Structure 1
Amino acid sequence: MSIRHACVGLSGLAIALVPVSPSAAHEIVGNRFFPATLGIDDPGINDELALPTVDSFKTGDDPSFKQRDVSGEFSKRITEAFAVSFAPTYSHLSAPGGLTGMGASGFQNIETTFKYRVFRDPVHEFVLSVGLSVEWGGTGAKSVGADPFNTYTPTVYFGKGLGDLPDTLSWVRPVALTGQLGYSIPGKNSTSTFGVDPDTGNPTIDTQFNPRVLNWGLTVQYSMPYLKSSVVDLGLPDFINHLIPLVEAVMQTPVANTLTSGTTTTGTINPGVIWVGNTFQVGIEALIPINRQSGTNVGAIAQLHFFLDDIDPHGIGKPIFGNAVQPASPFPRN
């Protein structure tokens, strides 16, 4: 699972049931292991704990604030194909230019995501999930930008490995794509702030329209574990064979109710790498803003992520309804 930045909404919608393949730890489809990514949410349905996730970047405000976040996410499967996750985030905003009295610290709104896997095709290494993310208004601090109203984001997630390519393209087989497409709907169309005109003393009203936002993103990954186990063993050091280099694109585009927000797309391009073990993974990425509105410098994000379904498959890693998972290594065999 991925981090929820204060400025980035992520999510999904739980719907109908369809048959899926037998239960296994992680999101493994055929020989393809889809890691938990840091920028966008992966398509997996798992028992996981991301703790901690830390990031640092400069906001797109003018002047820019330096924002540091520390967050966690706990995902629990209700059934083999349906999970619920909870994600708190603590933010610290440093005032620009060392100004006093302008910084702030506090929790962002709690976010809950309900996610359901609707389709999995092991032969073509394809998985599709849907979900609904709810940001609970009023659970965070207004001083760090937490909204007083709920925001609902139905989302579609997918993952596709290229392991079904012909032998002539065997070096491309370790490549995988994951992505998400969500539509954030604020619980209130507008927010009004009441004040007093300092010159006339008359009351004033400042109304900000809360836009509906298209949250979209894509990752391109190259799995060294897949290269060794399913394509060719190059005799590389074991550390290298555990790496998954990747690039993520994390974007937001206001598409409705945009009178005061505008329609400019904001987001980051995040190159980085994930090291994968049998029971945990570690990831680190740069955060490169795509324009001035997205930020003013290159930031960074890092995460430690635990696979609870492998650590304790008969306890906390077991679905509430259903059988214990079958431990499955992220490192496939021919």
Structure 2
Amino acid sequence: MSIRLWRAGLPGLAIALVPLTQGAAHEIVGNRFFPATLGIDDPGVNDELSIPTVANFHTGDDPSFRQRDISGEFSKRITEAFAVSFGSAFSSFKPPGGPTGMGASGFQNFETTFKYRVFRDPVHEFVMSVGVNIEWGGAGADSVGAESFNHYTPTVYFGKGFGDLPDTLSWIRPVAITGQVGYSIPARNFTTTFGIDPDTGDPTVDTEFHPRVLNWGGTIQYSMPYLKSAVVDLGLPDFVNHLIPLVEATLQTPVSNTLTSGTMTTGTINPGVIWVGNTFQIAVEALIPINRQSGTNVGVIAQLHLYLDDIDPRGIGKPIFGGPVQPASPFPRN
């Protein structure tokens, strides 16, 4: 599941931060397990539940607001290669120096994502998926910036492990990269607001253009489970052998219809770690703004993620069309 950056509705706030074949649970490509990541979506197609995802950070406004998000997402496979996910977030904003109870809170717009895995190469540990995310306008609260019109974001996702490197580079084999590139298209090009100038009493007209935005990012990961199972067992503690340290980047760049938004790239760099179990994972990352417009201070995001396809492979974790999946451990064997 990925955390999104919202246009807040409070005064002064700006942008904050299919084949019917039987397969294996999780996105395991050859010996490579691609975990769910917090900043961008992973390249897999799975039956999973992220609940809760909790984030705390300061927006890039001047003065900065503290934003807290609690979100959840449920992903369900229709076939072995095609899944639909549903999610939303509850946001709260606190103004700087404001007393408890000040600010605003409410749900963001509901989102639906359709994702289809188009290619998987076990030998080279490569996987690619395509999808489209729909943010349903008007489903959330105006007070937290939920817009009244839809956004459509076609997206490409990919993952590549380096397990195919030669023996001389065996220590790099546990490394993997993932990435996504999406193009967010608002259903409305602009919004015009009519008002009255409080000083002169004259009518005013304010037009805000809604930009089309390139949502892009990636991760670099080092899998300790892969190191133990597919490279060398160093005899490390079992807890360490379940860890995947990683760094994520989540970035947004307005690319058209930018008359009122500008074209500055905003986003965060998120170093963190994932602890992977057989039926769930726990992850925590720092949120480091890349510039002043992306936020102030370092935030944090954490998530509990459940692998439904391993918890109940013949029930809720089974594709709607097709046979039950074979439970597959995130810990590969030689």
Does TM, normalized by the shorter one, top 0.5?
yes
Does residue 252 of structure 2 align to residue 262 of structure 1?
no
Q: In 2, distance between residues paired with 1:289 and 1:72?
A: 23
* Structure 1 segments unaligned to the other structure (5+ residues): 10-16
TM-superposed CA distance for 1:205, in Å, is 1.6
C-alpha change, 1:175 and 1:278, in structure 2 (3 Å) is same
* Structure 1 residue identity aligned to 2:65: F
TM-superposed CA distance for 1:203, in Å, is 1.9
Structure-1 residue corresponding to 2:317: 317
Normalised by the size of structure 2, how large is the TM-score? Answer: 0.95
Q: In 1, distance between residues paired with 2:117 and 2:239?
A: 32
CA contact (8 A) 1:46 1:309 kept: yes
CA contact (8 A) 2:21 2:323 kept: no
Q: In 2, distance between residues paired with 1:101 and 1:330?
A: 44
Q: In 2, distance between residues paired with 1:21 and 1:248?
A: 32
Structure-2 residue corresponding to 1:275: 275
Does residue 96 of structure 2 align to residue 103 of structure 1?
no
TM-superposed CA distance for 1:324, in Å, is 0.6
Structure-2 residue corresponding to 1:288: 288
CA contact (8 A) 2:21 2:322 kept: no
Structure-2 residue corresponding to 1:46: 46
Q: In 1, distance between residues paired with 2:176 and 2:100?
A: 47
Structure-1 residue corresponding to 2:2: 2
CA contact (8 A) 1:20 1:119 kept: no
TM-superposed CA distance for 1:194, in Å, is 2.0
CA contact (8 A) 1:134 1:151 kept: yes
Encode CA deviations 1:269-310: one digit per residue, 9 max, x unaligned. Answer: 000000000000000000000000000110000000000000
TM-superposed CA distance for 1:101, in Å, is 8.2
Structure 1 runs of 4+ off > 4 angstroms? 19-22, 99-102
* Structure 2 residue identity aligned to 1:40: I
Q: In 1, distance between residues paired with 2:269 and 2:178?
A: 15
* Structure 1 residue identity aligned to 2:217: G
CA contact (8 A) 1:160 1:178 kept: yes
Structure-2 residue corresponding to 1:234: 234
Q: In 2, distance between residues paired with 1:285 and 1:109?
A: 24
Q: In 2, distance between residues paired with 1:232 and 1:49?
A: 32
Q: In 1, distance between residues paired with 2:301 and 2:175?
A: 23
TM-superposed CA distance for 1:22, in Å, is 4.5
Q: In 2, distance between residues paired with 1:180 and 1:20?
A: 26
TM-superposed CA distance for 1:21, in Å, is 7.6
Q: Residues 59-78 of structure 1: matches in 2 within 5 Å?
A: 59-78=59-78
* Structure 2 residue identity aligned to 1:75: S
Encode CA deviations 1:128-163: one digit per residue, 9 max, x unaligned. Answer: 000000000000001001110000000000000000
Does residue 327 of structure 2 align to residue 332 of structure 1?
no
Q: Residues 171-186 of structure 1: matches in 2 within 5 Å?
A: 171-186=171-186
CA contact (8 A) 2:22 2:323 kept: no
Encode CA deviations 1:229-274: one digit per residue, 9 max, x unaligned. Answer: 0000000000000000000000000000000000000000000000
CA contact (8 A) 2:249 2:267 kept: yes
Encode CA deviations 1:59-84: one digit per residue, 9 max, x unaligned. Answer: 01111100000000000000000000
* Structure 1 residue identity aligned to 2:28: I
TM-superposed CA distance for 1:4, in Å, is 3.3
Structure-2 residue corresponding to 1:23: 23
Q: In 2, distance between residues paired with 1:249 and 1:158?
A: 15
Q: How many residues align?
A: 326
* Structure 2 residue identity aligned to 1:150: N
Q: In 2, distance between residues paired with 1:129 and 1:215?
A: 16
Structure-2 residue corresponding to 1:116: 116
C-alpha change, 1:157 and 1:196, in structure 2 (3 Å) is same
* Structure 2 residue identity aligned to 1:133: N
TM-superposed CA distance for 1:201, in Å, is 1.4
Moved more, 94-103 or 32-41: 94-103
Moved more, 212-221 or 99-108: 99-108
Structure-1 residue corresponding to 2:12: none
CA contact (8 A) 1:2 1:36 kept: no
Structure-2 residue corresponding to 1:308: 308
C-alpha change, 1:193 and 1:277, in structure 2 (3 Å) is same
What secondary structure, in the 3-state scheme, does the structure 1 residue paired with 2:188 have?
Answer: coil
Identity of paired residues, percent?
A: 79
What secondary structure, in the 3-state scheme, does the structure 1 residue paired with 2:170 have?
Answer: helix
TM-superposed CA distance for 1:6, in Å, is 3.1
Structure-1 residue corresponding to 2:86: 86
Structure-2 residue corresponding to 1:150: 150
Moved more, 96-105 or 150-159: 96-105
Does residue 200 of structure 2 align to residue 200 of structure 1?
yes
TM-superposed CA distance for 1:219, in Å, is 0.0
Q: In 1, distance between residues paired with 2:196 and 2:5?
A: 33
TM-superposed CA distance for 1:99, in Å, is 6.0
Q: In 2, distance between residues paired with 1:172 and 1:324?
A: 35
* Structure 2 residue identity aligned to 1:86: F
* Structure 2 segments unaligned to the other structure (5+ residues): 8-14
TM-superposed CA distance for 1:204, in Å, is 1.3
CA contact (8 A) 2:43 2:128 kept: yes
What secondary structure, in the 3-state scheme, does the structure 2 residue paired with 1:326 have?
Answer: coil
